[in-house]
Chains A and B, each alone.
Chain A
Amino acid sequence: MINDDPGARDLVAIALRSFREAILLVVPAEQRFTALMIANALGVAERELAAGTAAEPALAAAVGGLLGEDGDLPDLLPKLCAAIDAGRFDTPDQQAALRAVLKDITRARLALSNPKRLAAEGQDAER
């Protein structure tokens, strides 16, 4: 496959910016909900393309720490699920350690899907 420039991330970013600046303000009220959903979807896609797999090594280390083994995140997550199913995280202490890592994973996903909620999470944690 020949990858011409600009790439997917750049195209989605400029499409979203143009949509916000030129279209969103003039869409009729009855289409506004759809227009906001389009902006939201493009925003998620842009952040996902920008983030790539940058967050994965740190999360893989955390999950690997729970399981006592090394590996890539896509391989470790099903193993973590199986370990949970097998009862390896049933005690209150194990659950607390598990939840700390699960929250890190979930924060990384929120950074893509809902940065506003992620910001609110940060404020909660500081309280």
Chain B
Amino acid sequence: MSGAPKPTPGLDPARKAALESWLAGQAEARAVAVIDEGRLSGGAISLNLAVTLEIDGGPLAGNHPCVLRTGSASGVSASLGKAEEAAVLRAVFAVGATVPEPLFVGADPAMLGAPFYIMRRAAGIAAGFRMVKSEEPRRDLARELGRQLGLIHRVRPGAEGLEFLALPEPTAALQAAADFRRWAGRYAASDPVLAYGLRWLERNAPPAGDLVLCHRDYRTGNYMVDGDRLTAIIDWEFAGWSDPMEDLGWFCAACWRFGRNDREAGGIADRTDLYAGYEETAGRRVDADAVAYWEAAACMRWAVIAIQQAQRHISGTEPSLELALTGRMLPEIEMDLLRHLDRVGGFPMFGGGA
């Protein structure tokens, strides 16, 4: 969201007409009408538009509530383009994960101004602060989210359609640490918490292990729930090949508990339920030390993303109060990192590292 009020950027008539004509071809339909139902809250990087497709003829004939998802003016380094994001979604849909089915991918930026895709619209809510508001821990939900992550991690390098995803070098952890150092830029030379976090991640990196498709933003706030039923895992723009423990560390990291620090699995339940669900479907055990490493990495990743978000504002490419304030979240993210390293950082985790 931008600080200054401006008209909701939906579909202007010319683009809507072009989209409808293109969709008719894609859907092998006589005609397609796109009913624009307005913007959905979609985070700071993507733009989500609720649409209903009225498809006349062809294999998909009928009305389909959908979401049209497209990029915003400037992204952060880690984010995928929308066509790539759709390919990831297709791969995890194919292994049976609970994700919105992607229906149409518009890779040509000329049509709507940026690449986009259209997926089915899931019911329910995603808002993190509402998800953690429950008297009792949501143990079944945590277990199901563990099972879902195990399914997602069945997608391995070599999967068809995901050739564009780079393999980490030399290991997932050291690639992440190098990425964070690059994204932190000059801030790592003046902010000693960043310098310490980077040094710690480099020296404590776990050895190379399995590489799987990681969601990389798997957390409360990025899944949708209708009542008690998980309806969709969303926001796939950071997906990539990595250590499977990265997603578990991200889910459990202090910064994604929405104030419910007593429920370490995303503010909704204990880790036990999440881990048990994961081991049911993943075909591997949870490595608690590696998860602890990736929780430190989670704080650092969030810190450098916050820096990048702030840069989008500071550079003038996308003046925004929300992005500006994200930059001032750095102290609380860094305090989470320091507290985490107080718990685990005093000893070498994997033989002391480099």
CA A35 – CA B345 in complex, angstroms?
40
Chain B residue with Cβ nearest A96: B346
> Across the interface, which residues of A come within 8 angstroms of B194, CB to CB?
81
A98 in the interface, Cβ–Cβ < 8 Å? yes
B331 in the interface, Cβ–Cβ < 8 Å? yes
Task: State which of A8-16, A17-25, A101-109 sits at the interface with chain B.
Answer: A101-109
- Does A37 lie within 8 Å of B3, measured CB to CB? yes
Number of A-B residue pairs at CB separation under 8 A: 92
> Across the interface, which residues of A come within 8 angstroms of B136, CB to CB?
none
Chain B residue with Cβ nearest A86: B199
> Across the interface, which residues of A come within 8 angstroms of B5, CB to CB?
31, 34
> Across the interface, which residues of B come within 8 angstroms of A51, CB to CB?
none
CA A31 – CA B321 in complex, angstroms?
13
Q: A110 to nearest B CB, angstroms?
A: 5
- Does A80 lie within 8 Å of B335, measured CB to CB? no
Contact residues of B between 183 and 211, Cβ < 8 Å to A: 188-196, 199-200, 203
Q: Determine the main DSSP class of B at the interface with A.
A: helix
CA A124 – CA B342 in complex, angstroms?
13
> Across the interface, which residues of B come within 8 angstroms of A113, CB to CB?
328-332
Q: A81-B190, A110-B331 are in contact. Are A41 and B325 (CB under 8 A)?
A: yes
Chain B residue with Cβ nearest A66: B192
Q: A5 to nearest B CB, angstroms?
A: 28
- Does B196 lie within 8 Å of A102, measured CB to CB? yes
Binding site for B on A (CB under 8 A): 31, 33-34, 37-38, 40-41, 44, 63, 77-78, 80-82, 84-85, 87, 89-90, 92, 95-96, 98-99, 102-103, 105-107, 109-110, 113-114, 117, 121, 124
Chain A to chain B contacts (Cβ below 8 Å), 7 pairs: A31-B5, A34-B5, A77-B191, A85-B199, A95-B346, A106-B331, A113-B330
Binding site for A on B (CB under 8 A): 1, 3, 5, 188-196, 199-200, 203, 321-322, 324-325, 328-332, 334-335, 338-339, 341-342, 345-347
